[in-house]
Amino acid sequence: MVSRVIPVDPFDLTIFGGTGDLARRKILPGLYRRFAAGQIPDGCRIVGAARSDLSQDAYRDEVSDALAEFVGKDKLSPDTLKAFLGLIRYVSIDATGDKGWSELKGHVRDDRISAFYFSVAPSLFGAIAERLHGHGIADDTTRIVVEKPFGRDLESARALNRTLAEHFDETQIYRIDHYLGKETVQNLMALRFGNVLFEPLWNSQFVDHIQITVAETVGVAGRGEYYDRSGAMRDMVQNHLMQLLCLIAMEPPSQFEPDAVRDEKLKVIRALEPVKPDEIVRGQYEGRSGGQSGAKSRVAPYHADVDDPDSRTESFIAMKVHVSNWRWAGTPFYLRTGKRLKARQSEIAVVFKDAPHSIFGAEAGRHRNILTIRLQPNEGMTLGVTIKEPGPGGMRLIDVPLDMTFADALGAENDQVTDAYERLVMDVIRGNQTLFMRGDEVEAAWAWTDPIIDGWVSADKRPYPYEPGSAGPEESQMLLHRENRRWREIRE
């Protein structure tokens, strides 16, 4: 199946932080793929703006290297690469000074969409916004894209929102949460609101509980300083897991339209109950010495990765969350995320209740329908259904998956859809804010998160240690076991 590509209108996109890690790994490769797919018309400009002094050619070489590394040398066609590099410009700029701004103005044309990606530290947002206006580069049609972290608590998020609001209207601000750009996440909405099958069951009458897991194998080495000030709650739950929860829990919006969708998500966040301390498990990974003959590689413990033997920041968190409204009262949402876990796996599992009465007797065992929505690896969905075990020998029941792996179902040329950034950047150019967080959503998420964090800070408790390569601390298993439930396995 070949996907339909509709070219966007001509644009000039400036990437502040154009030499940074995010630009190299995600933004530029995403733009290249969209260009190769025919979605970016000739004559657009992609302007890198960063601190380094680089010539135009030196920056193009950097872009070319980044594409070779993150798109893959074998996937670059020489002609397409040459044409793409033709769109690239570079400006050496000082976000907090005067250097480079007049030059940038010369690159950004009036007769097309202009967007500015703030791929820099949030402390620079205000200075950049102010200069874009001060130098007459931005106007009320300009779009800006901002990255996480959007604040570290309610107060700082409000301050950032106020700073941006001084210069831009909310309709011009695109707050990225790349989880929302994932194909599966959007498919979740298609599944819920495009089919008649699931929505009648999508409530506490039929759903026993929901699990959201985002497991990573990497540790925090290399970004320890940032991570240690943040922790799993701020880095993952307040934004990514919260967004997933919203999409699962929200009421059907009247239209698939930005404010209709975001209004419904906001209602979910506002319906979240405070989480009780005994329904939260925080963990911190230990180290591993390497074992005999290097069978298992050595892993540094968390406190070494962040260079603080006394750190109490969590690299893992599991929690039970209640959405208090008519639809969900009594159906818990269990969230868990962590570093250095057994496998890289993100999934949402909707665990339906048992059939009200088993006509097959106790020996048939307990069977439950579970709808699993996989974000990675192998984006797709699986519905576990109970059937009769084939063959003679009586009525024995087994669970089999009805599987839909997108790469299989849609064909190999759709493998590029797995990258969320390229979809989101194109949405910015199309002026579609549906998959971006609105300011009040972000603030509501912090308003829920802050007291939870304050709770453990004032209790001054250490996170539970857990082995690298495990599913997190034992206590996280207990969170479900004590309610006769169990986490789904994190599979290698």
**Active centre residues (catalytic):** 240
- Residue 66 interacting with ligand NAD (CB under 6 A): no
Collapsing DSSP states into helix, strand and coil, what is residue 88?
Answer: strand
Asked if 99 touches ligand NAD (CB under 6 A), the answer is no
Amino acid type, 175: R
Q: Residue 235 Cβ, how far from ligand NAD at the closest point, in Å?
A: 10
Binding residues among 142-201 for ligand NAD as defined by CB under 6 A? 147-149
What lies within 8 Å, CB to CB, of 297 at 6+ separation is 288, 290
Q: Would you say 435 and 420 are in contact if contact means Cβ atoms under 8 Å apart?
A: no
3-state SS assignment for residue 429 = helix
Q: Is residue 264 within the footprint of ligand NAD (CB under 6 A)? A: no
Q: Which residue has the tokens 């194909």?
A: 183
Number of helices (H), then strands (E), belonging to the chain: the values are 16, 15
Listed in sequence order, the residues at least 6 apart from 345 whose beta carbon sits closer than 8 Å to its beta carbon are 213, 215, 374, 376, 377, 490, 491
Of 18 and 338, which has the nearer Cβ to ligand NAD?
A: 18
By the rule CB under 6 A, 119 interacts with ligand NAD:
yes
41 makes contact with ligand NAD (CB under 6 A): no
Q: Which stretch binds ligand NAD (CB under 6 A): 121-129, 341-349, 355-363, 409-417?
A: 121-129
> Interface with ligand NAD includes 123 (CB under 6 A)?
no
**Binds ligand NAD by CB under 6 A, chosen from 50, 248, 280, 437:** 50
Cβ proximity to ligand NAD, 121 vs 197, nearer residue: 121
238 touches ligand NAD by CB under 6 A: no
Q: Considering only the stretches 58-66, 116-124, 341-349, 382-390, report the one whose residues sit in contact with ligand NAD under the rule CB under 6 A.
A: 116-124
CA dihedral 417, 420, 422, 425 (to 10 degrees): 140
- Residue number with CB closer to ligand NAD (183 or 235): 235
How many Å apart are CA 231 and CA 338, to the nearest integer? 9
What does the alpha-carbon distance between residue 295 and residue 292 come to, in Å, rounded to a whole number? 6
Paired strand residues for 173: 144
Q: Is 221 in the site for ligand NAD (CB under 6 A)?
A: no
Q: How far is the CB of 148 from ligand NAD (least distance, A)?
A: 5
Which residue lies nearest ligand NAD, judged by its C-beta? 20
Q: How far is CA 404 from CA 411, 413, 462, in A?
A: 12, 16, 42
Residue appearing with tokens 């009200």? 356
Q: Closest distance between ligand NAD and the C-beta of residue 140, in Å?
A: 24
Shortest reach from residue 418's CB to ligand NAD, in Å: 16
What residues make contact with ligand NAD under the rule CB under 6 A? 17-23, 50-52, 93-96, 119-122, 124, 147-149
